[in-house]
């Protein structure tokens, strides 16, 4: 355990039993701990392993075909997945859960069928616009769409109405098998609560691009051929831990990532010789106490 040895050396140096070797050892150890502290990507990579051990493979995305993944990516915006499932069931019952079905269904009818997902005046035309783009530019073929280079394809998706970065990346990764990370509010909460990243000056939240950049760096050392699978699993696992523990209120007791929180807390304490940062959710308390501390 690195902290035991180095903290002892630091404490010797502080108390004036100053053996030059102990001082140097403390300094070197402190520098090495600082290097680890500024490497949030390594911690995020380790979090993936902790979550995978706890929850196992998630088999995402929860859909039967790439086309259903795309529909789901649109419909799940600002909406719980249960509501999306009701919309998909209505579309299936009406024979509209295929490319041809979506092409031919009148806009009013589409609005009615996806009503459970909400925001129907935005989502229904956005789905129609996707199909129009696919027909006009890719011969109506998802395989042709998937064959486009990732950066150009991402730009094209982002230019469509109703498609933001999270929807574009979810389509790229889960429907078209492109190796791009997906970030969402669950990942943002984890990253902020574990202090892996801080919001830029003048902003209160870590940006989407900062989250995906951190995820990219976390898996950069993994073989490129397996990267899409890792991004797929990691996003699904962060959703799993978010639903079970890290929602609007953090419930850290029993969370698979609590070990990282303790590590970070010890690390801050060891580096600065100060008590752990108060913004970290506390460990070893009752769930209610943790909730009071971690609400954000």
Residues near ligand SF4, by CB under 6 A? 190, 193-194, 241, 245-246, 250-252, 255, 257-258, 261, 281
Q: Tokens 């979506």 correspond to what residue?
A: 102
Q: Which is nearer to ligand SF4, 63 or 280 (CB)?
A: 280
Q: In Å, how far are 7, 88, 152, 230 from 147, measured between CA atoms? A: 54, 26, 11, 21
> Smallest gap, in angstroms, from Cβ of residue 228 to ligand SF4?
24
As a whole number of angstroms, the distance between CA 4 and CA 270 comes to: 10
Q: Outline where 219-257 has alpha helix (H).
A: 227-244
Return d(Cα 151, Cα 71) in angstroms, integer. 21
| Torsion sign across C-alpha atoms 61, 63, 69, 73 | negative
Tell me how far CA of residue 281 lies from CA of 5, 42, 206, 217, in angstroms: 26, 20, 18, 25
- Which one, 84 or 261, has the nearer CB to ligand SF4? 261
Residue 29 Cβ vs ligand SF4, minimum distance, rounded to whole Å: 26
Bridge-partner residues for 246, per DSSP?
Answer: 250
Nearer to ligand SF4, 6 or 215 (CB): 215
Q: How far is the CB of 292 from ligand SF4 (least distance, A)?
A: 13
CA distance 212 to 216: 6
- Output the smallest distance, CB 275 to ligand SF4, in A: 18
CB of 201 to ligand SF4, least distance (A): 24
Least distance in angstroms from the C-beta of 237 to ligand SF4: 11
Residue 258 beta carbon to ligand SF4: minimum distance, rounded to whole angstroms: 4
Cβ neighbours of residue 110 closer than 8 Å, sequence gap 6 or more: 96, 102, 124, 127, 128
Q: Which spans in the chain are helix H?
A: 2-14, 20-37, 40-55, 66-75, 81-93, 99-104, 107-113, 120-138, 142-147, 150-158, 165-170, 185-193, 208-218, 227-244, 258-272, 287-294
């Amino acid at each position: 355990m690195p902290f035991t040895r180095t903290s002892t050396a630091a404490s010797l140096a502080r108390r004036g039993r100053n053996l030059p070797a102990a001082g140097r050892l403390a300094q070197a150890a402190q520098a090495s701990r600082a290097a680890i502290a500024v490497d949030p990507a390594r911690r995020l990579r380790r979090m993936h392993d902790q979550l995978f051990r706890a929850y196992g493979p998630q088999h995402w995305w929860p859909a039967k075909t790439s086309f259903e993944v795309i529909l789901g990516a649109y419909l799940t915006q600002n909406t719980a997945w249960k509501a999306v499932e009701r919309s998909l069931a209505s579309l299936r019952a009406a024979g509209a859960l295929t490319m041809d079905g979506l092409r031919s269904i009148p806009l009013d009818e589409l609005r009615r069928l996806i009503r459970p997902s909400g925001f129907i005046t935005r989502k229904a035309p956005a789905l129609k616009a996707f199909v129009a783009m696919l027909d006009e530019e890719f011969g109506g073929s998802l395989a042709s769409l998937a064959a486009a280079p990732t950066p150009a394809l991402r730009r094209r998706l982002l230019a469509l109405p109703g498609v933001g970065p999270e929807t574009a990346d979810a389509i790229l990764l889960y429907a078209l098998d492109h190796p791009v990370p997906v970030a969402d509010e669950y990942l943002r909460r984890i990253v902020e609560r574990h202090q892996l990243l801080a919001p830029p000056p003048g902003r209160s939240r870590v940006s989407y691009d900062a989250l995906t950049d951190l995820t990219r760096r976390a898996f950069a050392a993994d073989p490129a051929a397996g990267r899409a699978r890792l991004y797929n699993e990691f996003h699904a696992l962060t959703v799993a831990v978010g639903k079970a523990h890290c929602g609007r209120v953090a419930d850290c007791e029993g969370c698979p990532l609590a070990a990282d929180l303790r590590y970070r807390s010890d690390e801050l304490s060891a580096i600065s010789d100060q008590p752990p940062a108060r913004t970290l959710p506390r460990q070893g308390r009752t769930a209610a106490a943790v909730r009071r501390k971690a609400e954000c």
